Chains A and B, each alone.
Chain A
Amino acid sequence: MKPNLVRVRQTLLGYDYAFTAFGLLVVLLLVAALRGPKLFTSEGLTIAASVLAPLVLAAMAATPVAISGRGGVDLSVGPLMAFLNVAIVTWLINEGLTGVVPVVAFALAAGALFGLIQGLLVSLVRLQPVVVTLSGFLFLSGLANVIHTNGSEATFPNWLSSLSGTTAGIPTAAIVVAAICLAWVPVARSTYYRNLRLVGFDDRTAYASGVNVALIRAGAYVLGGLLGGVAALMLSSLLISASPNVGTNYTLIALTALVLGGTSLAGGSGGMVGSVLGAIDVYLIQYALATFQFGKSSEFVNQVANGGVLLIALLLGAVAVSLNARRRATA
């Protein structure tokens, strides 16, 4: 029994970066249960899952880039989702290509390709990640609007809109997210991921030790692009239309969730668990606030709350670190 406990403890300590996000989740679930118990009905959960899915996936998409270091902030994640959403509608669905295979393959391939371009610009050309992803942000935001035609939109394929429904009583969006999370497990345990974290922590050390820094860092952007592709599918399923202008919002929420989840923008530390929890936190904050009647200003109240919670979470984290350090010093 005891060795088991030790192992559980060690496993948990491996996720200590996400403690704040987890604590916040518990509090927010309680608040939600008190203020808006409708969330916990089957219908409420289905809606929540379909709204949450693109959010969670956007936060996940920004994570490998942040871990890869050099100040990797993926600003382009939201516009990538919006662009892919518009492209899927305009280039595929409106042209009659509505099957699962072409749509999914397009979303993943285009996301990965875009990630690869950004990754090569960062790791081979050695441009600053912020600049590269800012360019990506602007480029894709514009491009989404350019290719968006206001003409009649063909009907959405059933399979895509049904991703926001339920399967055997379980929200399909939740199944998709769970599947992606499961698919991430072998990645997180891979040698590649270990190398990625090393590169994120200190790329000079990694390079001098013979790690292929350029390849590994570029890979993080490709992974981000792939996840962005999945996020775009879930976004399309949620919106059932082409919406070129939702990108900015998703970028901001994804980065909020990422940081709330304990991933450091300095690189190396953090992980997917934190980003998933952080995204759920951000959603629940919105949900809880929506139960109050703020009327027209509700969107801005949301922003105020997100900013405040993010700052408080970071402060709490900093206090915890310094308390820990002091305890260790006096121990």
Chain B
Amino acid sequence: MNDSNKRASLSSPDPTPSTQPRRSPGLGEVVVTAVELRKSFGDTQALAGASLAARSGEIHAIVGENGSGKSTLIKILAGIYGPDSGHTEVLGRSSAGMSPADILDLGLATVFQEVLVAEGASVADNIFAGYDGTFRRRVSRGEKLQRTGSLLSQLTGHDVDPTVPAGSLSLGDRQWVTIARAMARAPRVLILDESTSALDLSGTASLLRELERLKEEGVCVILVTHRIAELSVFADRATVLRDGATTTTLEKSQISEQSLLELMGGRAPAAKGHAASTRPVNPEPGEALVDASAIKLAADAEPIELTLRAGEIVGLAGLEGHGQGDLIEVLAGIRRPVAGEIRTRLPAAADGKSRRGGIAYVSGDRKRVGVFPEMSILENFGLPTYRAHTTAGMIRWRDVRGALERFREQLGLRMGKPRASIGSLSGGNQQKVLIARWLAAEPRVLLLDDPTRGVDAATKSDLHGRFRQFAREEGMGIILLSTEIEELLEVCDRILVMRKGSVAAELRGDAGEDKILASMFGVEGIDDVLAAEREATGSKETS
């Protein structure tokens, strides 16, 4: 990209294109700059003046609520989108008009929020995607297999066969594949957009350890995450986005959970975590809605007994891949158990006109189950409830729109026109549309599969309140699978901890975090894990 080209591609010339004086080469040099980026998708303005300056050898956090433009900013830096206006610079070169391939070659690698794997291609091919040229090979097949194996076992802590199709891996391992793909490039700038959301606790800890190591080597790590507790420990600086614009960049000393939440939302944080022990646990749930007996998720797993009663919220916890995801899919009827039987007692389910009184399943894996990316917000919302809004088989769109409007206010949905494509919304807002979709069906049983993945803190606590309200006031039975223990403690009456495809422990909703962790890891392992986490967080404080 030569100079004239660079200027031509700036639709609004910026007087100060990042000519910030650079420190002498080495640590602390500004390696990624974004100045006054603007970007609209149809009616939705995603970025309205976002700026960023990240240095080598730091972990730079980007925080903001859903729809604040974090992912758009990342995608512009990665070359997926071009900005409508504004200027970007990577490692001292303007990256305007560059393709993702060019930017990777500059030394900036990105792990996107969507878990981007080619499911039919092998794990090794996924990790080395784009590493070779179009015609020329940079590393041999044998070396790819070997490096894939060692990279993944180092990251995940277990062996992954590099020759199997990536689609056969668990969601967590697929996420690791995307992370390994970026790391295999040995980038000088590494961007991770919500890359811990599909990882379990120990996975997150191990990733953060890895990022610390890269930072020590002088890599610039840019981290987008909603897990604010993580950030206040790990981030050296944090850039806060609100409504598509940068509000401020905080230095290490200014970063705290409190300050981040205030700047993101422009308001005081929601009353944080009813201390688990003081939150009431529903003492007397109503009649049984779902009865699962002797469910076996795998041939060699212990059978599971589970009764869900009206008015209670049952949490599912567990390390990734220990069967909690399978169990909720079995309850939803998506997957058949190896053995066992599920009886539902949902009297109203048979009224035929709507799904009212039935079972609703909301997944956090928006890309694979949930969103129809090409359809409008309205269609995505109205899908299961069309039948309730028809006259002589024709849809009364005004009613559907009215229903959406109600949820839009209730859930704080940030969107343009209802007819706009759902793809124009941020991930968190798409999730809200999905939740609204199923709430509109007025279900009796709500199966929530990590429903707040990638949802900002304020919305999350709002949703938690709603879940409790549905259980207490409307007598729904709710099963909540979550990768975040705090969330389970916040919402659930009782928590089933899954281990090795079976229920390892059933705890009251006001049990402490340590008890849940202990059951998740199997009691004997817990000290090691806590020690590892301490080490991971401790190394930061001593450096």
Where the two chains meet, the residues of A that have a C-beta atom closer than 8 Å to any C-beta of B are: 190-192, 194-195, 197-198, 201-202, 204-212, 215-216, 268-269, 329-331
Contacts and interface: CB of A to CB of B under 8 A. Distances in A.
B340 to A, nearest CB: 14
Given A208-B78, A330-B338, A195 B132 contact: yes
B266 interface: no
Given A202-B116, A208-B78, A215-B134, 13 more contacts: A190-B135, A192-B135, A195-B134, A198-B129, A201-B119, A205-B116, A208-B112, A210-B99, A211-B101, A212-B99, A216-B134, A269-B120, A330-B299
B126 A194 contact: no
6 contacts: A198-B125, A198-B126, A205-B116, A208-B78, A211-B101, A212-B134
B338 A191 contact: no
B306 to A, nearest CB: 20
A209 B181 contact: yes
Interface string B124-143: 01100111111111000000
A205 B299 contact: no
Interface in B76-91: 78, 80
B486 interface: no
A329 B117 CA distance: 23
Interface of B: 78, 80, 99-101, 103-105, 110, 112, 114, 116-121, 125-126, 129-137, 181, 298-299, 338
A299 B104 CA distance: 56
B101 to A, nearest CB: 4
A216 B112 CA distance: 23
Contacts of A195: 132, 134
Given A191-B135, A211-B130, A216-B134, A204 B116 contact: yes
Given A206-B129, A208-B78, A201 B134 contact: no
Contact of A201 (B120, B132, B137): B120
A212 B132 CA distance: 11
B134 A205 contact: no
Decide if the interface of chain B is mainly helix, strand, loop or mixed.
loop
A202 B100 CA distance: 16
B101 A198 contact: no
Contacts of B133: 191
B93 to A, nearest CB: 16
A206 B136 contact: no
Instruction: Name which of B103, B135, B137 has the most chain A CB atoms within 10 A of its CB.
Output: B135
A194 B131 CA distance: 11
Complex A-B, nearest 7 residue pairs according to Cβ-Cβ distance, in ascending order: A210-B130, A209-B130, A202-B118, A201-B118, A210-B101, A209-B129, A210-B104
Given A198-B121, A205-B117, A268-B121, A210 B105 contact: yes
Contact of B129 (A192, A211, A268, A269): A211
Which of A201, A202, A208, A212 has the largest number of chain B CB atoms within 10 A?
A208
B117 A202 contact: yes
A268 B118 contact: yes
A173 to B, nearest CB: 31
Contact of A191 (B99, B104, B119, B137): B137
A204 B105 CA distance: 18
Given A194-B132, A211-B130, A205 B118 contact: yes
A194 B141 CA distance: 11
Instruction: Select the residue from A195, A209, A215 with max chain B CB neighbours within 10 A.
Output: A209
Nearest to A195: B134
Nearest to B134: A212
Contacts of A211: 101, 129-130, 134
Given A202-B117, A202-B119, A269-B120, A208 B80 contact: yes
Contacts of A190: 135
Nearest to A330: B299
A134 B402 CA distance: 43
Contacts of A194: 125, 132
A194 B120 CA distance: 12
A206 B135 contact: no
A208 B105 CA distance: 13
Nearest to A329: B338
Contacts of B121: 197-198, 201-202, 268
Contacts of B135: 190-192
Contacts of B80: 207-208
A331 B338 CA distance: 11
Nearest to B115: A205
A268 B101 contact: no
A191 B126 contact: no
A117 to B, nearest CB: 20
B130 to A, nearest CB: 3
Contact of B134 (A192, A197, A207): A192
Nearest to B168: A328
Choose among A190, A191, A268, A330 the residue with the greatest number of B CB atoms under 10 Å from its CB. A191
B90 to A, nearest CB: 14
B465 to A, nearest CB: 36
B129 A205 contact: yes
Contact of A209 (B100, B120, B299, B338): B100
Interface centre among A192, A195, A210, A216 (most CB of B within 10 A): A210
A205 B126 contact: yes
Q: Determine which residue in A195, A201, A329 has the highest number of CB atoms from chain B within 10 A of its CB, and name it.
A: A201
Contacts of B103: 210
B368 to A, nearest CB: 12
A269 B125 CA distance: 13
Contacts of B116: 202, 204-205, 208-209
Given A202-B116, A268-B118, A331 B299 contact: yes
Contacts of A204: 114, 116
Contacts of A191: 132-137
A207 B114 CA distance: 13
B67 to A, nearest CB: 22
A303 B410 CA distance: 59
A202 B174 CA distance: 14
A210 B100 contact: yes
A198 B299 contact: no
Contacts of B117: 202, 205
A211 B125 CA distance: 12
Residue of B78, B110, B126 with most chain A CB atoms under a 10 A cut-off: B126
